[in-house]
Structure formats: C-alpha cells, structure tokens
Structure 1
Amino acid sequence: MAKLALLFLFALPLLLSLTSLLPLHCNAFSVDRPTDRRLLVLVDDLAIRSSHSRFFSSLQARGYDLDLRHADDPGLALRRYGQYLYDGLILFSPSVQRFGGSLDLAAVLDFVDAGHDLILAADSSTSDLIREIATECGVDFDEDPAAMVIDHTSYAVSETEGDHTLIASDDFIKSDVILGDKKIEAPVLFRGIGHSLNTANSLVLKVLPASPAAYSANPLMKLSSPPSLTGSAISLVSIVQARNNARILITGSLDMFSNRFLKSGVQKAGRSIKHEKSGNEQFVTEISKWVFHERGHLKAVNVHHHKVGETNEPSMYRINDDLEYSVEIYEWSGSSWEPYVADDVQVQFYMMSPYVLKTLATDHKGLYSTSFKVPDVYGVFQFKVEHQKLGYTSLSLSKQIPVRPFRHNEYERFITTAFPYYGASFSTMVAFFIFSIVYLYNK
C-alpha cells in the first residue's frame, strides 16, 4: 500500500498537467470548424486589457478564448508535449526585447510555419525582436526608430495644428473577402510607423497604403535628407497569406486597435464631412475575421471521377474514354459551411504538362463538374485542381490515375481508314497471280 501511495503522489502532477491540456486541445483549430480557436495575446503593459478592451471583446463575442499574458512572462510556451496550445497569436508588445519562457523568434516563425495565424502591431517604440519577426514575414519597418508616418494632406483635422502624424486613410484594398461586403464609409485613424513590402515576397499585400504625399521621418526634427520611405511605397497595414494558408496581419500602429481610436470621430483634411465615428472598429473587426479564417476559408470534399454513363470510379482509363470529374467546394462563413460560387475553378488532366484544361461548371450549391475525352496518350496522369484567388485559402487537389492503350482484341476488325492499304494488298496479290500466269504460259 505504501508503494501504491508513493506512485500516486509521483503520478498526480503529470495527471493534472495532462488534464489541464484537454480543454486546449478540444478548442484547437479543426478543418471542420476553423474558428474554434484559442488565442494568445502578448502585451507590454497589462493596461492594454482595458485600453483595447473593445477589440478584445469583439473577439470574445465571436467565440474566441483569449489568454492575455505579459510578453516576458516566464511561463510562456506555444507548444507542449509536441502539441500547440494556441491557434493564433496576437503581439501587442512592440517594445519587448525578449519574450519569456520558451518563446523566441524561432518559436514564433515555427508557429506560423505550422499553419497558425498572427497579428503583429508595432509603434514608435518597436524593438529589434518585433522588427525581425516582421522582416521574416516580408515586411520591413523604417530603420529610423524615431520615424513616424507624416502626411500633410491626409490627416485628421481635429488634431493639434501642425501635428500631421494622425493619418486619416480610406484607400482600402478592393476585396470583399478581406474587408467584408459592407463598405467602410469613414476613414481609419492611424498613428505609428510605416513599413515597406519585400519585393521578393509575392505573398504580401497592402490592405491600407499611405497616400502619395506621405513620408516617414522624425516629426520632432527638420528634414536634413530625403526620407527613406515616401508616398504609396509606405504601407500602413499589410497582410500575408502563406502557402500553408497561415494568415498574418502587420501594422505599425498599436493605437489603431485602441478604444480611443475606435470611438473617436474623424474628419479628413480637405473634406467637409465629419464622421461621428472612425472606421477603425469596422476595419479591425473585418480584417480580424479574415485573419482568423472566419471568411475566405475553403475546403474541397467528394472528389470523384468516372466514365460517362457509369458511377463507380475505375482503377484506370483507356485512351479516348469519355469521363466526368466533379468536386464539392465550400466556404466557411464563421458559423457554417456555405457553397462556394466562382466561375474560375479549373481542372487539369496532367502528365508532365496539362493535356486537358477545363473550367468546371457549378450548380451554385457547391458542386463543380465537367466532362472531357481522355487524350490519345497513355501513361500515368493526374487530375489536378490548383485554385488560388485573392483573399481565399488556396486549394491544391490531385488524384493519380493510369491511362492504358487499346488491347490487341479491342481494336476494330476492319479499320475504315485502312481500306486503301487493304486495297493495295489485294491488288498486289491479284497482279502477282496474273503476272505468274502470263509468265508461265506465254510462249
């Protein structure tokens, strides 16, 4: 009995730790419900819990479980026992020099490489660690640590005269899947640092660019040399959708998410219209829906192909067979899967290169289908669907199938196109017979 009691005492901490992980794993991201998620929020100051409470409340109202921690908390970890504890990461800690616990630059990048999502907000106090994370994601913040985005044409007129660091921008990306189908009427308030996109990274997109008159410089000093970032090359808010469908949002303004900016009225310079409320709340809500896969997340099911007139999927096709191909594609709406409707989904019948390229017809209920004839080439082919569209997760489907030639007993007995050859053969035999008779009996 003493040994059993001792064993129980040693096993109890392990059982408690495993039990504490069960809720995390149950709420983790799943293919069937992409928004069942637990988010880790890292902050420099726990006062952000109240100063940015409206943004956090909007996430919780949509069903997210937030774990708000100090960025240098010694107990921080993204994974334990080989399993990720969170499905999304929000970095509202621009000045952190070093994360606590086992969290570091490599851990954050591995987190994204594993298909998880990231929101990164910076400001004028941004540390080298946050800059490195942004650089690895294809975004370069201004190298001058004191630089801010200044605009003498697109600023909020309510600010103190001469202070043009509070940008009022409404040049949004034209994409309903990223920002929703309801137009953002009021400008978005932005105060912070600008960034440029790495031209070698084709996955980064500007969601909110600066105006052509904007530039990045220290607002407390006179310009002694041309700014390093100017005009529309400056991005205020950018997004990345990685090839593994992980999504990233990067902005140089932590204030953009604050209660003050979400509730503030705004009037853009040069315009007479004054909006009672800025577009920040609608903007950050809609963009966070996209980042956390509440919109634009696709899945494909029931990939099927068969010969015309049949229903069973064959193990191989014969050249010149007529076949039908179908697939069902759905989009996650935030609460359920809805039919995805598009007119540019294509299938390739592929061997080294596409032999057949067909656009799939849709019944507007999620089913995409087409029919075509197998090419007169035998070998190992693939049905391939590669669908990539702005704002949507990419679909990459492939199914291998061999194609064989006709067997010797499957050809027609007499081929119509071979009649001239048949005639030539018989005429040769007749001519030889006549020649033999003439040669043998002619004196």
Structure 2
Amino acid sequence: MWARWIAPVLLGLVSFSFVTAKSSTGNSVLVILEPRLDKDNFSKFFSGLEEKGFELTFRSPKDPKPAVLEYDYAQFSHVVLFAPETKSFAADITPQSLVSLLSKNTNLLIAVGPKSTPISTLASEFSLVLPPPGTPLISHFPARSEPATVIPVPVSPSNIFTSASFAPVWFSGVPFAYQSNPLVVPILNAPAESFASDADADSGADALVEAAEKGGEGLWAGSQLGLVAGFQTLNGARATWVGGVELFSDEFFQKELPGGGKPGNQQFASDVAAWTFQENNVLRVDKVEHHRVNETLPGKTYTTNDQIVFTAHISKYNPDIASWEPYSDLTDLQLEFTMLDPHIRTALPPVRGTPGAYSVTFRAPDRHGVFKFVVDYKRKGFTHLHSSTVVPLVPPRHDGYPRFLSAAWPYYVGAISTSVAFVLFSALWLAGDDRVPGGKKTSKTE
C-alpha cells in the first residue's frame, strides 16, 4: 500500500529537482570548446551550470554534430562559444547562423581573444568595436607579481548581479569600445588606469593610438572600455561578449588577489551566465485590462472625455522555483495613450494589495480617432516589456450631449431676445394704422 504512494512522491521530488533553477527558455546548452582549451580547466563553471539543472552538450568548433541549427530550427536553448582563436568552424557555425539563433530566442555566451577570427568580426554587429589584433588589455596597477596582462578588475554594482558588492575579478584578454546602441548592456568595464597595447611591452601604444585615430574610435584606454557586455534583442534573446575566456577558468576562480582574499570570478561568472540564459531579470506582461470608471467590462469603443481605467499585470521569472511570480517592484512604468503621437503619457504605479498589478485612471482626450494603450518599458538589464492595445475613441452620440450648457447662457439669451424682438416688431408692423395724419383720406381720382 505504501509503495503505491511513495513512488509518485519520489518521482515528484526528482522531477522538482530537475525543474528548479532552469532558464525561462529551456535548459539545453551547447558548449563549443576549441581543442586547445581543456574542459577540466573550466570544471567549476560547467559543474555550476549542471548543478542548476542545465544539460550540457560539448563539441569542438569543427565537429558537424550536434548541429546548432537543423531544418531552420534551433536545437539548443543556449550556446556557449569558447573558441577565441579558432579561425575555421563547421558549416553550421557562421556569423549569420549565430545571429539567426537570437531571432529564435536562443541565447549566446561568446568569448573572444586578441586574435582576429570570424567570430570576433561579428562583434561589430552588436555595437562592440574590438582593438587591432594582438593588443590585449594591460595595467600596471596595482603592483603584483602577475604579468601586466593579468588584471584584477573591480566590479561595479548592477541589477544583473545577485550580490550588492563583489570582490575584484581576474581578467586577461581584450577590451572593446561601445557604440551608441540602447540594446547594449555594459556588465564589466576596464579599470581607469588600463589600456590596450602590445602583449610583451608598451612599445606598441603609439601605433595603436595612430590606428585608433584613423579608425575614429579614440584612445583605447580608461574605464570607458568594456570587458564583458551584454546585448538584448527586442524579442528578449540575450548575447554576452567576454573579452577573455580565462575569466571562467578554474585558475582564475582560485587565484588569490594582490591584497589577499578570494576573487569574485566564480560568482561573477555564475551571475553573467544566469543573466545570459534568461534566468534573472526576465519580465513579461501577463495581461492588460481597460474599462470605464464604475464598470468592469472592457469597452468596445470609448467616448471622448470618458474616465478610463487601465491595468497591466506583470510577472517576473523566479529561477529558484522555475515559475513566474507577480512582480510589483517597477517604480518607473508608464502608460501612453497614443494616436500617431502620445496624447497622454502618465505614470503606471503598482496597485497596493494586488501583486503584479499596475493601474491608472485618466480622462480620454477630446479628440476622436483610433488610439492605442501602449506600455513600452526598456531598462538595461531587464527584459523589454511591450504591450499595445487598439481601441476606437468616438465623439458622443446625438443623444449623448447635454441639453443645456451653463457656459452657453449668453448665446441662449441672445438667441431668445432676438426672437422675441422679431415677434414684437412683426406684431407692431402688422397692427399699425395706414391712414394719413389729419384724418383725411387720399382719393385715387385726384
């Protein structure tokens, strides 16, 4: 008897352990690892993904199977591309195929290096400009025994990270300059005293400055350079570019910082992967509602100057329980009531006591036409929220106008007085005497 109940319970517990902490888009991960990189050197990073519930599949860049795309269908939910020096790939791994994966909501984690490869040339499509080949990031501060190309980089706070503060992370690789693009999400920037130059000495700095001036990017130095950057497409897919694959290595996970202490590489790599794989900061609009004040059903049409209530229900993905939960922590959400241009733009605050609900009441403009309720929320690090609902706005019916307007009384009085004066004048004219003064009548024969 007990066996009949224990088996389903154990099966449920096992299935729950595999479900929790997965991505909102799936748990299959293809890791493309070039042969010179030993998988065991990244064991902590890969085992951390497997502990979360991800299913990792490994292949080299030149292996034809398993294919990234098959029959124009993405075979994996996420792709990790650790091939910074590979110059020839299998037929299914091309810059075009990687871009098409994003359109199919497959996320990418890509590491590049100082050498020029087909993948590094793809960075410009994501508004990232790499320096000339062979010019990694260099910093002589702080003083340390490691080479100048192995740098401890401070981590700035961001909504991407699960912790408010991070120990510096070890980095070795190339920086990139940001182009103006609102879809780029800076994650880790270079230290202020760092610069890109020759790997063995600083003698290549002058040549690099000349090349930068010709290219128009400016000097490759300072904290404006990026080391890890994300890119989020309008459909929610995410791609993260990392300037050096060593950031994910076991060596950098355990390497002691110059001032002593453990680096933040392991937690940093875990948070970057969680954001890239759409575990964290994933939002969605569940539904929207609109109706007149004191009504509950949505109006098929609205009349000018109606009082309208609009409500949006928003949820956030919780990777700990692998489900969506109502989310009420957005403080800068807005609603636009638009017809070509916004006629009304107003704050959409959360509703107290109703998790995930954001509501506002406003008066429809005195302009009839086809309008839209638009919620368009774009913030770096969060999924873009967009909702558009079309409603017609019509003028009042012939029996919908008030019979008398208090503001029109001067016109009413003017019209009435004119009418009364006309009646009196007509009456006096018709009732007037046609005789000649003096009592004499005129004769027609005279």
Q: Shorter-chain TM-score: what band?
A: 0.7 to 0.9
Q: Which has the higher contact order (CA 8 A, sep 6+)?
A: 2
How has the CA–CA distance of structure 1 residues 55 and 356 changed in structure 2, closer, same or farther, with 3 Å as cutoff?
Answer: same
SS of equivalent residue, structure 1 residue 423? helix
2:187 to 207, 213, 216: 207
- Deviation beyond 6 Å, 4+ runs, structure 1: none
Query: Match for residue 94 of structure 2?
Result: 104
Cα deviation for residue 96 of structure 1 reads 1.4
Query: Match for residue 260 of structure 1?
Result: 251
Counterpart amino acid of residue 178 in structure 1: I
Separation in structure 2 between the aligned mates of residue 152 and residue 114 of structure 1, nearest angstrom: 43
In 1, are the aligned partners of 2:150 and 2:170 still within 8 Å (CA)? yes
Cα deviation for residue 111 of structure 1 reads 1.0
SS of equivalent residue, structure 1 residue 231? coil
SS of equivalent residue, structure 1 residue 332? strand
Separation in structure 1 between the aligned mates of residue 419 and residue 34 of structure 2, nearest angstrom: 99
Q: Identify the range of structure 1 (315-324 vs 229-238) with the bigger mean alpha-carbon deviation.
A: 229-238
The answer to whether 1:129 aligns with 2:110 is no
Gaps of 5+ in 2: 1-18, 210-219, 435-446
Q: Mapping of 1:35-114 within 5 angstroms? A: 35-45=25-35, 48-114=38-104
How has the CA–CA distance of structure 1 residues 391 and 82 changed in structure 2, closer, same or farther, with 3 Å as cutoff?
Answer: same
The answer to whether 1:230 aligns with 2:221 is yes
Counterpart amino acid of residue 169 in structure 1: V
In 1, are the aligned partners of 2:23 and 2:278 still within 8 Å (CA)? no
Cα deviation for residue 70 of structure 1 reads 0.5
Counterpart amino acid of residue 138 in structure 2: I
SS of equivalent residue, structure 2 residue 358? strand
Query: Match for residue 413 of structure 1?
Result: 403
Identity between Structure 1 and Structure 2 (%): 30
Separation in structure 2 between the aligned mates of residue 292 and residue 346 of structure 1, nearest angstrom: 27
Cα deviation for residue 42 of structure 1 reads 0.5
1:351 to 339, 360, 368: 339
Query: Match for residue 212 of structure 2?
Result: none
The answer to whether 1:187 aligns with 2:176 is no
How has the CA–CA distance of structure 1 residues 92 and 379 changed in structure 2, closer, same or farther, with 3 Å as cutoff?
Answer: same
In 1, are the aligned partners of 2:254 and 2:263 still within 8 Å (CA)? yes
Query: Match for residue 241 of structure 1?
Result: 232
Cα deviation for residue 344 of structure 1 reads 1.0
Separation in structure 2 between the aligned mates of residue 380 and residue 222 of structure 1, nearest angstrom: 63
The answer to whether 1:336 aligns with 2:323 is yes
Computing the radius of gyration over CA atoms, which structure comes out larger, 1 or 2? 2
SS of equivalent residue, structure 1 residue 385? strand
Counterpart amino acid of residue 273 in structure 2: S
Query: Match for residue 22 of structure 1?
Result: none
In 1, are the aligned partners of 2:69 and 2:92 still within 8 Å (CA)? no
CA deviations over 1:84-104 (Å, ceiling 9, x no partner): 101111110111112114222
Cα deviation for residue 266 of structure 1 reads 0.9
In 2, are the aligned partners of 1:36 and 1:63 still within 8 Å (CA)? no
What CA RMSD, in Å, does the superposition of the two structures yield over aligned residues?
2.1
1:274 to 260, 268, 277: 260
2:379 to 375, 384, 389: 389
CA deviations over 1:105-146 (Å, ceiling 9, x no partner): 21111112333211111233x342121122222222221x32
SS of equivalent residue, structure 2 residue 203? coil
CA deviations over 1:401-433 (Å, ceiling 9, x no partner): 001111112222233222222211221122122
Separation in structure 2 between the aligned mates of residue 223 and residue 82 of structure 1, nearest angstrom: 48
Query: Match for residue 360 of structure 2?
Result: 370
Separation in structure 1 between the aligned mates of residue 205 and residue 141 of structure 2, nearest angstrom: 21
In 2, are the aligned partners of 1:76 and 1:102 still within 8 Å (CA)? no
1:305 to 281, 285, 290: 290
CA deviations over 1:219-273 (Å, ceiling 9, x no partner): 3245155234222243221221222222111112111100111112112xxxxx4
How has the CA–CA distance of structure 1 residues 354 and 204 changed in structure 2, closer, same or farther, with 3 Å as cutoff?
Answer: same
TM-score by length of 1: 0.84
How has the CA–CA distance of structure 1 residues 442 and 48 changed in structure 2, closer, same or farther, with 3 Å as cutoff?
Answer: farther
Separation in structure 2 between the aligned mates of residue 33 and residue 49 of structure 1, nearest angstrom: 23
TM-score by length of 2: 0.84
2:177 to 196, 211, 219: 196
Query: Match for residue 308 of structure 2?
Result: 323
Separation in structure 2 between the aligned mates of residue 248 and residue 154 of structure 1, nearest angstrom: 31
Counterpart amino acid of residue 278 in structure 1: P
Counterpart amino acid of residue 308 in structure 1: V
SS of equivalent residue, structure 2 residue 160? helix
